[in-house]
Structures are given as structure tokens and as C-alpha cells.
Chains A and B, each alone.
Chain A
Amino acid sequence: MKITRRELLISAGSLLAYSQLGSLANAEVNIAAQPGDQEMIASMCKALYPHDRFPMNIYMDIAAGAIKKGNADTGAKISFRAGLDGLKINSFDKMSFKKQTKYLNSIANTPFFGLVRGHTVVALYDHKEVHKIFGYQGASFDRGGYKDGEYNDLSWLPDPRIEEHPDLTAFLDDSSPKKYASLKTKKTF
């Protein structure tokens, strides 16, 4: 598979990638199999989407998924290996956040970057622990949905009107083509 920059940078790649998560081929030579490799990738995931509230084990999970994708086929393997090498040579995990950001910008056009970023943005915000930290409760159907007092528990603003304004019908009905055609269109583009 030829991986173009575009294919990898697009989020569509990551959307479709989601459905491929489970179907990776058995690889013979695995990249990123050295001690410390997963930690290195995790430090990249964290620099991409830095959340102080997230424990490192979440980023480690994301890194594991990225590595799995990096082993998916020969094209991914060679670009992943090269990208990981770059992180190691530059001791990416020891850099300041500012330097990390600068480094990531310098490799932003590589397939390696595209693969790790595309995977991270999907997998990280889909991670169950992240949902907990964000306070997102997700599915509620089994307990009968969000209850009165839950879906409307916001109390720092007054309760709004839910009915339509009495003038709405007149406002919408006043839409004769003739009348509106008399409004002169002023060209601004």
C-alpha cells in the first residue's frame, strides 16, 4: 500500500482506521518492539493532545494502538520505524513541551506523524477513562434515560421559554416572493 501524505493527514483516514482496528495482519518483523518504544510514542501522543488531567497509562494505551497500526503493513512499518528513530535520536521524551511542539511541527508532513496523530485523536477521545475524566456519562438508556433533574440540571441560568414566540407564525408567513424581491441585493463579494 502506498501511503501518501494526504491519505494519512486526512481525518477520514482516522475515521476509516477505526473500523480497521481489529483486523491487523500478523507481522513477522515488528517495529517498536524495544523496551521504551511504547513510552516514547506515548510521549508523542501526549505532546500532540496534552491533558494534565490524563494519567500516563491512557497515553500508553493510545501508543499501543498506534504501534499496532504501525505494524499493519510494510509501508506503515518503514515509515513508522523511521519516525520512531527520529524521536529516539532527538530524545523527544526529554524535551520541554515547547521544543516537542516545534519538533512535531517539523515532522508534520510525514506519514509517521499522520498515522500517530490520526490514531490518537480518535482513540484518545474515545477512551473510556477519558470519558470519565471529562465527566461524560454516555449511555443512559438502560436506566431509563437522563431523568428530569439531570438533563436539565443547569441552574446558573434562568429556565427559558420552550414554546414558540407568538409572533413566529406571522414572521415566517410574511415571505411573499414579490415583497422580498423588492429588497435590493447589494454585492459584497
Chain B
Amino acid sequence: MKIDKKEKAVVVIGSGPGGAQVAYQLTKQGIPVVLLEAGRRIMKEEYVNEEWPAFSQMAWLDKRTMTGNSRIVQDFNGLPTWLVKAVGGTATHWAGATPRFLDYEWKTKSTYGSVDGATLMDWPIDGKEMKPYYVKAEDAIGSTHRGGRPALPANNNYKVFAEGAKRNGYKFYATGPYGTNAAPYDGRPASVQDGFNFQGDKSGAKWNPNVSEIPKALASGKLELRENSQAVQITTDSSGKADGVLYMDTKTKALHRQEAKVICVAGNSIETPRLFLMSASARHPNGLANSSDQVGRNYMRHLTGSVYATFDKPVNFYRGETMAGFLADEVKHNPKRGFVGGYYLETLALGPSFLGAFLDPGRWGKKFADMMDGYQNMAGMWIVGEDMPQKNNRITLGSAKDAFGLPAPNVHFDDHPNDTAMRNHAYEKGEAIYKAVGAKQTYRVTPYPHTHNLGSMRMSAKAKDGVVDKHGRCHDVKNLFVSDGSVMTTGAACNPTLTITALAIRQGEYLAEQLKKGNV
């Protein structure tokens, strides 16, 4: 459908799991939506099964800078995050792990107490309220092991991981829950185990909005998807309400304006606060909806790290599903371990091209080469755990400019001592898993550029503590919503996309109701 730029429309910015889901929920209820997406629509036939070309095809490469004590500052300064600029968002790249929050993870301040230097806070919603939305989200994504959907088979990397876990006395390992079909579901086929789900997945077995919510919303006739359309400013009227979006055609650089009655922003945790900060005006001098001074703060990226190991015999870990291996035994809060919160271990495989760049950035010499030389006999896992929100881990507008002359975002990230303690614990456990099945050499790998980007537009009960309320609606601007992972008050241990999806379904239903009642 075509929507006039002068028409006061519902505008969604960003077509990742958050934005596409909200757009889909609204169009499903007959509400027309303009969806602005900075990237283009890459169809699955175009995906490239080679790591670097695929990365160049879809990664968000606009200028960003980074400061802080995180090793990424030295290793990947120009690339603090690993995000996608394309229809479907970063889920084009995502692996598919879909665990839920635990009940106390919605209430970390009450549960963990005060942690020095951390800005823990309880969410204004809880596990009970979210439960039905988790079920809907799992059904939307088609998570394996849930809703009667079957488990994916074990690949070689999982065999090593699961047996090592078992020999360490762990119980809670499985090949999911995982957002790639083990059997045909929702019009999409079963996995062909081609090993390239990070690169977009040519088969369509992997869920991402570009193969699900986007085509469904387009088929409803209520969606206008504008590709290559990057929002650069949200404008407000004399009453302080949002009334339009200025966006740029990234091909021609021409600036356009869409009139709006409601705006939902879902550009992920860097671009969403950046857009709010670029929308400062006389009425909102500190940035849009920022009377709390919380826009951009409490940015989280999960505690991450990897453990790789080489063995005497071949593994060929790159074959099959990239992350269909899961261990939950270490997820529970157990302060005796010397940190608050917990973590999952998940299988992970990289091709030689990425492994060379990420195994030990900056390193060279014989030990590194020997590790790479063991490629065929290698197994790998990823650590994902809760990291501490901190006031100064923060997105700001830096002095550098991007290619469009817009202020480039700066990402400041310091590891909290709790993050470091948890990571060291996880490294030891990960190595123990591989040693139990005969690892020859193990390798502790530092975090990759951030794939899980959270916080920065914090959800809070009170307006002074955060940016948005329990429905993702800005405390300061009532017709402005945030619909992505940046609303996360705290990040929990689990991979975020299932929760982003659940929150977006909930928000979409709420917003549709409010629109019908004329409350926005």
C-alpha cells in the first residue's frame, strides 16, 4: 500500500525483530503502517555463503567510535557492534538461540541487592505477565523444543559439547530452543544443515522478519515498506508531541518528511538513542524524551566470550546449525561463585576466515598459527551471561561525522568486575567441558564486536529513572514508542531476541487497542 507523506501515519523505524513485529501486529489489526528501514531488502537467493562477502553485504558499517576499558576498544575500535543494515535487521545474521528470562531476572535489584557501580533496577513488568507473550513469540519464531516442535539433530560440534558437559556432571544440555526449523513450519522448510545461518540462510529455515513478518504484513495490504530510508530526526509540535520523521534516502541522500501520529523506534541500541539525541530541540534541549538524562545510558552487551579447543580427531564443527547446542546448568544466580547472575554456554562455529580475525585479535606467531592449524579438529562454544548495567556505559553523539555528515555515535563500554568474574568462571567451565573429552589445546577468546545490544532506552516505572514506561511508551512524549532491545532495564543471561519479540507483540497489541480507542 502507498501512504501519502502528508498523511499523519503510524511510522515504525527499523525492520528488525522489534520493528517488524510491531508493524506486523498493527497491520494484522487493519492499521496502516509506514516502515522506514535504512537498509535494503536482500532476498535469500542473494545471500552469499562466504563469511567476508556476506558481512560486507549486510553489516552496518557507518562510522562509529568506541571508548572504555573493554578489549574491543583496541581490537575493533571502528566496529564496536556487529549489526545489520537490511530489511529484517540483525536477525538476518542471528543464530537462533531463544531462551526466556527467569522470573527473578525481571527483578534483579530486589534479587541481587545493590552491586557497587551497577545501576540494577527492577523491570516494571514480571515473568507472570510476560509468560503468554513468550508463548506467542516462540510460535512466531518457531522455536524448536517448544509448542510441540521437534528438536534439531546433533551436529558434530554439539556431540563434543554435550558429551563434555555430561562428563562434567551437567544435565541441562539440548540442541535448543532454537529459531531454525527442525521440521517444516509456518511455510518455511526444515534446516538443510548447510552451516551458513549467520550469513542469512539461503534455505529460509531460519526465522527472521524478512521471511516471516515482513512478507505477511505486505500481504495484508496495510504496510508500506520504504527501503534505504534512514530516519535522521523526529520532530515535535508545539504541544511537545512527535509529529513527523525526517528521513534520508541513503542512495540519493535526499531528505524526506513523513507526517506522523504515532512513531515506534526500533533501530537497535545504538541507533535508537542516537536518533533521540539527534532530535534535540528547544523543547527537548537534552535530546528527545530525555528529561531523565537516561537516553543512551545503561547500555549492555551481555557478558560474552568463547572457548575453542582442538582434539586428536576430526570434528568439522562448521557443518550444520551454527548454534544448536545449549547448556543451562550455570544460568542460576548463585553468589557463592563470586558474582551475581548467571550464564549459558552455547555451541558456536566459525569458518577459517572469521576465526582468523576473531580468535585472538592482534595476535600473531606460532601458538596462534598452531591453533588455527587444528581447524578440522576444533570445537567451539560461546558464553552468554548477564552483564551489569552501568550509568556511564553509554551511547553519545561523538565529534566524528559519518559519511552523511551526521554525528557518529560513540559507544563507551567498561567491563564491570562482576562481568570479568563471571567470564573467568565461564572460561574455566568451558575448558573443563572440552578437557573431559580429550582437548589437546584450549583457547579463551575475548568478546567479539557486540551482537547483543541492550539497554540505552531503559524501561522504568518512574519517569525520572528511565526513558520508557512498561509498554515502551516514552515517559515524556506520549505518542512516541521504543520497540527494540534498547528498552531492556536489565539484560538477563539469555540471548535477547525472543524477549524483544515478546515485548514487541505485547506493545503492538497495546498500541492497536490505544489507537482504536483514540488514546494516542
Contacts and interface: CB of A to CB of B under 8 A. Distances in A.
A16 interface: yes
Contacts of A181: 104, 110-113
A181 B110 CA distance: 7
Contacts, number: 245
Contacts of B51: 126
Interface stretch (A30-38, A65-73, A77-85, A165-173): A165-173
B77 A6 contact: yes
A175 B318 contact: no
A161 B174 contact: yes
Given A49-B364, A50-B369, A160-B163, A136 B352 contact: yes
Contacts of B193: 145-147, 150-151
A26 interface: no
A47 B520 CA distance: 65
B351 interface: yes
Interface size, B (range) = 35 or more
Interface in B145-196: 145, 151-156, 158-160, 162-163, 166, 171-176, 191-196
Interface stretch (B21-29, B234-242, B333-341, B458-466): B333-341
Contact of B145 (A19, A164, A171, A172): A164
A64 interface: no
Contact of B366 (A50, A120, A161, A172): A50
Interface of B: 49-52, 55-56, 61, 74-79, 100, 102-107, 110-113, 115, 127, 145, 151-156, 158-160, 162-163, 166, 171-176, 191-196, 202-203, 313-316, 318-320, 328, 331-336, 338-340, 351-353, 355-357, 361-362, 364-366, 368-369, 372-373, 375-376, 417-418, 420-421, 437
22 contacts: A14-B357, A15-B76, A48-B364, A53-B373, A126-B52, A126-B352, A134-B375, A135-B376, A139-B50, A145-B192, A145-B193, A146-B320, A150-B193, A151-B193, A161-B162, A161-B174, A171-B172, A175-B105, A176-B104, A180-B104, A183-B335, A185-B112
Nearest to B194: A145
B409 to A, nearest CB: 15
Given A131-B351, A152-B154, A171-B172, 17 more contacts: A11-B361, A12-B78, A13-B78, A15-B55, A125-B372, A134-B376, A136-B318, A137-B318, A138-B351, A141-B49, A148-B153, A151-B156, A152-B320, A159-B154, A164-B174, A177-B110, A183-B334
A1 interface: no
Contact of A168 (B328, B334, B420): B328
Interface string A105-123: 0000000000001001110
Contacts of A55: none
Among B151, B328, B352, B418, chain A packs the most CB atoms within 10 A around the CB of B352
